[in-house]
Amino acid sequence: MINPGKAEKWAARSARLSARLRENLKRRKEQARGRKAEDVAAADADIGAAPDFRRNPGGKVGGGSGGPGTGRGG
């Protein structure tokens, strides 16, 4: 059987966890809204830029040794 003190303790814990979850959800939604605004601003800035269809747009071009970073085997 559960003691009355124990039930109160669990109820308080449950209330605390519920409040924390609500706050966490609010914070995450606000972050998502901020990221969406940043994406829209970045998309607006990129209008008119030519698309980059290279396979590895940020990688090095030529001059490599063919090592592990190039994906050409070893």
pLDDT tens track of the chain, all 74 residues? 567 789 999 999 999 999 999 999 999 999 998 888 888 777 777 676 677 777 777 766 565 555 555 566 54
Predicted TM-score of the model (pTM): 0.45
Distance, CA of 35 to CA of 27 (rounded, Å)? 12
CA distances from 4 to 10, 13, 18, 29 (A): 10, 14, 21, 38
Distance, CA of 26 to CA of 28 (rounded, Å)? 6
Tokens of 15: 């209330």
